[in-house]
Amino acid sequence: MQHHATDSLLDQPVTALRGVGDALAEKLGKLGILRVVDLLFHLPMRYQDRTCIYPIANLKVGQEVLVEGEIDATEVVNRGRTMLLCHINDGSGILTLRFFHFTTAQKHSLRKGALLRCFGEVRQAGFKLEMAHPEYRLVNPDTPEPIENTLTPTYPTTEGLQQRSLRRLIEMALQQTYVLPDLLPENVVRQYQFPPLKAILHMLHTPPSGSTVEGMRPQRLIFEELLAHQLGVQQARHELRQVQAPAMQEANHYWRKLLRALPFAPTDAQNRVISEITHDLQQGIPMNRLVQGDVGSGKTLVAVAAALHAIANGYQVALMAPTELLAEQHYQNLTRWLEPLGVETVYISGNQTPRQRRRKVENLLLGIGHIAVGTHALFQRTVEFLQLGLIIIDEQHRFGVHQRMSLREKGKQGDHYPHQLVMTATPIPRTLAMTAYGDLDYSVIDELPPGRTPITTVAMNNERRDEVITRIADACREGRQVYWVCPLIEESEVLQYEAAEVTAALLRERLPHVEVGLVHGRLHGSEKESIMRQFKQGDIQLLVATTVIEVGVDVPNASLMIIENTERMGLAQLHQLRGRVGRGSTASSCVLLYQAPLGKTARKRLDAMRNTTDGFVIADIDLELRGPGEVLGTRQTGDVRLRVASLLRDQHWLPAVQEAARAIVAQYPERVELLTRRWLQQAGGDTATRFFQS
Ligand code: ADP
Ligand code: MG
């Protein structure tokens, strides 16, 4: 093993620095600073200029400056509360320093005639200028301390951690930069004319007087961080491929039998993705694939194809959905499709009593149950499988990377890991996907089943509700069904379902000939299920719902979707909701009700919804309006902890970064470890777990 540079002080925990004990280390840890090198990448938010002494006569309100003057007078006054005032004079003018908290010793030290240097923000007090609680120190006129010759950085900090200690520690780290190697490939440095890393760090932490570094985010650091991140996901992916998974044989008898029974044929896109998956399943290493398909693109069928492949090989499958409602729907679909094949689907619900559940759990353990469907309840300790070969996670954006990893661990049998298939309707721009989900292979179902007619979308002011109600009546008269999605009330689930009840009551009154149903998050699983079943069967014509119907509910006869309060919803959610209609062959429409006046962003969102139904276009606009943190879900980006770079702002770098990552692996493999270690924040641990569990 090579021991260059990596053994330096920089790679050691912060406690290796003089004066850093456990308490301080803990505070630094809160800032993500674990090792000495992390201090170097803890960049200032802004700077103070203490490099010149300002004449008092030139001060302006709001300036943060250094002044020096002789104390004219110090007095304690009482203006409603006791305070200490100290007036200093530099020959050009007089400035008052005001202290609301002070000690007697402090008062005595500020004696008339002493020379005082202080730093603070200038503010207006009546007609005069003053500083409240400035930093100050007494100056010996015979041996005046030199003033700073660099700008003073202000760092992001945490409670109980002084700027001064941060600065001191960072200065200590800066003294070690002589061992900090430049790790970017030389051609990248040349092509983009990146300055050397050391120079950049010194410039950022100790900018010479007069430099303009405020808000500076050097592209080299951004590039390096994105590169380290890219290498990290690649490495995690590589490590995941070092373990074993069942190598399944080509076996499609169940699937062929299902195809004969289905009233439709899979689309080309579905077939392509299915063959990508079955290819993965035949390898002896765990599949780790993300399938992205717009709402209604038929992801369930793809999941079923994968499941049947595993089952035909004698393995069991776990299908996990984010909500009970969806799990129930999957259970029903699967039972309908698979029972005739002799494939047994087991439903595991958080709502089942232990007794109800026991039988099902036993079946899984005995291998009588082939597919288990459920929410995360599936992965409680009591549920065990005889031979779990494949885990399918539906609607991935509700699950974080952590959950994905821990599921894999739970499914581990002996030294074999189950295959994993993740399905999401959230379209992810390709470059982002490679960086945010670089550990996954990626398939896209880029085609909707035939015979779907496009959805017409209109935005309407709340005041035009009457027109909307007429439209509902018309649709129902034509034998169609309608969704009405109630406002999202984030503050309270109770308020949310009360609002839904009020709306349902109102609609019942206004539409006496229409059968109205209500579904919300407070209903029990069985109640929800029964209402959804009635809606599916057409017994309910108008379904009033809270946003619980967001993901995956499938009722092809529904052709009208009303969404309330759309000014408060995100694009991704609106797109998901709208995807509940337009699943049959009738022309569908979506009415976006909003409360005027519309803000600028809200208007842009509604415009986007009216102009396109293409999930990828919507994802791009969403990304533009919100940034990747929200697009990918906070859970995921919680793992993508970037210090300098931003996936959104800096995404133009991603292609070059991906290219550089390839070059590093091919030409400088020893730098992979150095780069990921430098940027990915944890001392020790293997990269895969470090990356995902940081
Ligand atoms: P999503 O991708 O949103 O999960 P679903 O799997 O719920 O979509 O499928 C939406 C609807 O399309 C379902 O009714 C499903 O049976 C139907 N479907 C799936 N594949 C096809 C196909 N190839 N042709 C016609 N209908 C299909
Ligand atoms: Mg679905």
Picking from 147, 182, 207, the residue at the C-terminal end of a domain is 147
Picking from 386, 412, 445, the residue at the C-terminal end of a domain is 445
Q: What is the pLDDT of residue 212?
A: 82
Residue bearing the CA closest to ligand 1, atom 24? 449
- Condensed to tens digits (0 to 9), the pLDDT of residues 56-96 reads 999 999 999 999 999 999 999 998 889 999 999 999 999 99
Q: Which of 59-68, 339-348, 376-385, 599-608 has the lowest mean pLDDT?
A: 376-385
Res. 406: pLDDT tops 80: no
Say how far apart CA 186 and CA 173 lie, in whole Å: 25
The DSSP output letter for 81 is S
The band of 631, judged by pLDDT with boundaries at 50, 70 and 90, is very low
Q: Would you say how long the chain is, in residues?
A: 694
668 falls within a domain: no
Residue bearing the CA closest to ligand 1, atom 16? 298
Say how far apart CA 309 and CA 332 lie, in whole Å: 20
Ligand nearest to the CA of 302: 1
236 falls within a domain: no
- Mean pLDDT for the chain overall: 86
Residues 578-594: what's their mean pLDDT? 88
143 falls within a domain: yes
Q: For residue 393, which phi and psi values (nearest 5 degrees)?
A: -115, 120
CATH number of the domain to which 566 belongs: 3.40.50.300
Q: What is the pLDDT of residue 687?
A: 31
Q: What is the pLDDT of residue 693?
A: 28
* C-alpha distance across the termini of the chain, in Å: 25
What secondary structure does DSSP assign to 555-616, as a single string? -TTEEEEEES-GGGS-HHHHHHHHTTSS-SSS-EEEEEEEPSSPPHHHHHHHHHHHH---HH
Q: Are residues 139 and 181 both part of a single domain?
A: no
What is the residue range of 109's domain? 52-147
Q: What is the pLDDT of residue 694?
A: 24
Residues 677-681: what's their mean pLDDT? 80
**Rg of the chain over CA atoms, in angstroms?**
32
Res. 638: pLDDT tops 50: no
Q: Are residues 22 and 85 both part of a single domain?
A: no
Ligand nearest to the CA of 292: 1
Centre of ligand 1 from the C-alpha of residue 596, in Å: 36
| Best residue among 273, 299, 300, 392 to mutate for probing ligand 1, ranked by most atoms within 8 Å of CB | 300
Centre of ligand 1 from the C-alpha of residue 478, in Å: 24
- Condensed to tens digits (0 to 9), the pLDDT of residues 253-270 reads 999 999 999 999 999 999
671 falls within a domain: no
Q: Which of 112-116, 146-150, 532-536, 630-634 has the lowest mean pLDDT?
A: 630-634
Higher pLDDT pick, 693 / 142: 142
Q: Are residues 43 and 115 both part of a single domain?
A: no
Q: Are residues 330 and 211 both part of a single domain?
A: no
Say how far apart CA 223 and CA 337 lie, in whole Å: 50
The band of 407, judged by pLDDT with boundaries at 50, 70 and 90, is confident
Two tokens, residue 54: 């300002």
Two tokens, residue 468: 């909307």
Ligand nearest to the CA of 398: 2
The band of 688, judged by pLDDT with boundaries at 50, 70 and 90, is very low
Residue bearing the CA closest to ligand 1, atom 25? 449
- Give the number of the atom of ligand 1 that is nearest the alpha carbon of residue 303: 6
CA angle 565, 571, 574 (to 5 degrees): 55
Of 500, 505, 481, nearest to 489 by C-alpha is 500
Say how far apart CA 691 and CA 694 lie, in whole Å: 6
Q: What is the pLDDT of residue 396?
A: 64
Res. 14: pLDDT tops 90: yes
Count other C-beta atoms under 10 Å from residue 198's C-beta: 16
Of 303, 315, 206, nearest to 258 by C-alpha is 303
The band of 21, judged by pLDDT with boundaries at 50, 70 and 90, is very high
- Give the number of the atom of ligand 1 that is nearest the alpha carbon of residue 295: 3
Ligand nearest to the CA of 319: 2
Amino acid identity at 563 = I
Please report, rounded to a whole number, the percentage of residues in the chain having pLDDT higher than 90.
Answer: 52
Give ligand 1 pocket residues (Cβ under 6 A).
264, 266-267, 270, 293, 295-301, 425, 449, 552, 554, 556, 583
Q: Are residues 432 and 459 both part of a single domain?
A: no
Q: What is the pLDDT of residue 159?
A: 86
Q: Are residues 278 and 341 both part of a single domain?
A: yes
Alpha-carbon separation of residue 151 from 52, 60, 147, 284 (angstroms)? 10, 20, 11, 58
651 falls within a domain: no
- Condensed to tens digits (0 to 9), the pLDDT of residues 428-469 reads 766 677 666 666 788 989 888 887 778 999 999 999 999 999
Q: Which of 234-243, 259-268, 668-677 has the lowest mean pLDDT?
A: 234-243
Centre of ligand 2 from the C-alpha of residue 70, in Å: 75
The DSSP output letter for 641 is -
Q: Are residues 62 and 31 both part of a single domain?
A: no
Say how far apart CA 442 and CA 244 lie, in whole Å: 20
- Condensed to tens digits (0 to 9), the pLDDT of residues 177-189 reads 888 889 999 999 9
Centre of ligand 2 from the C-alpha of residue 296, in Å: 7
Q: What is the pLDDT of residue 54?
A: 94
Res. 236: pLDDT tops 80: no
**664: Cα within 13 Å, side-chain hemisphere:** 28
Picking from 594, 612, 630, the residue at the C-terminal end of a domain is 612
Res. 470: pLDDT tops 50: yes
Q: Are residues 30 and 75 both part of a single domain?
A: no
Residue 115 bridge partners (DSSP): 70, 139
Res. 685: pLDDT tops 60: no
Those residues whose C-beta lies under 8 Å from the C-beta of residue 652, and which sit 6 or more positions away, are none
The band of 403, judged by pLDDT with boundaries at 50, 70 and 90, is low
Of 48, 431, 41, nearest to 218 by C-alpha is 41
Q: What is the pLDDT of residue 516?
A: 96
Centre of ligand 2 from the C-alpha of residue 627, in Å: 25
Q: What is the pLDDT of residue 317?
A: 95
Centre of ligand 1 from the C-alpha of residue 301, in Å: 7
Please report, rounded to a whole number, the percentage of residues in the chain having pLDDT higher than 70.
Answer: 89
Two tokens, residue 641: 């902890």
Q: What is the pLDDT of residue 489?
A: 67
Centre of ligand 2 from the C-alpha of residue 423, in Å: 8
- The burial class, CB within 10 Å (0-12 / 13-18 / 19+), for 661 is buried
Centre of ligand 1 from the C-alpha of residue 420, in Å: 21
Alpha-carbon separation of residue 631 from 41, 42, 600, 643 (angstroms)? 26, 26, 19, 19
507 falls within a domain: yes
Q: Output the CA torsion sign for 294, 297, 303, 306.
A: negative
Is beta strand 481-485 parallel, antiparallel or unpaired with respect to 455-461? Answer: unpaired
Those residues whose C-beta lies under 8 Å from the C-beta of residue 146, and which sit 6 or more positions away, are none
The DSSP output letter for 55 is P
The band of 323, judged by pLDDT with boundaries at 50, 70 and 90, is confident
Res. 681: pLDDT tops 80: no
Global pTM reads: 0.66
Q: Are residues 579 and 439 both part of a single domain?
A: no
Of 334, 232, 270, 349, nearest to 672 by C-alpha is 232
Centre of ligand 2 from the C-alpha of residue 277, in Å: 17
Residue 594 bridge partners (DSSP): 461
Please identify which residue in the block is written with the tokens 């390709």.
430
Q: Are residues 136 and 175 both part of a single domain?
A: no
Residue bearing the CA closest to ligand 1, atom 20? 298
| Best residue among 272, 554, 555, 578 to mutate for probing ligand 1, ranked by most atoms within 8 Å of CB | 554
Two tokens, residue 557: 């006869």
Is beta strand 371-374 parallel, antiparallel or unpaired with respect to 345-348? Answer: parallel
Q: What is the pLDDT of residue 554?
A: 77
Centre of ligand 1 from the C-alpha of residue 292, in Å: 14
Higher pLDDT pick, 370 / 236: 370
Residues 166-194: what's their mean pLDDT? 93
660 falls within a domain: no
Say how far apart CA 107 and CA 654 lie, in whole Å: 58
| Best residue among 290, 297, 397 to mutate for probing ligand 1, ranked by most atoms within 8 Å of CB | 297
Q: Are residues 90 and 116 both part of a single domain?
A: yes
Centre of ligand 1 from the C-alpha of residue 371, in Å: 20
Ligand nearest to the CA of 262: 1
Residue bearing the CA closest to ligand 1, atom 12? 298
The band of 304, judged by pLDDT with boundaries at 50, 70 and 90, is very high
Residues 198-213: what's their mean pLDDT? 90
Ligand nearest to the CA of 580: 1
Centre of ligand 1 from the C-alpha of residue 499, in Å: 32
Residue bearing the CA closest to ligand 1, atom 26? 449
Res. 599: pLDDT tops 80: yes
678 falls within a domain: no
Residue bearing the CA closest to ligand 1, atom 18? 298
Domains in the chain, number: 4
Q: What is the pLDDT of residue 548?
A: 67
Ligand nearest to the CA of 298: 1
Q: Are residues 302 and 397 both part of a single domain?
A: yes
- Condensed to tens digits (0 to 9), the pLDDT of residues 520-570 reads 878 876 788 788 889 988 999 999 998 766 555 778 899 999 999 898 888
Res. 684: pLDDT tops 50: no
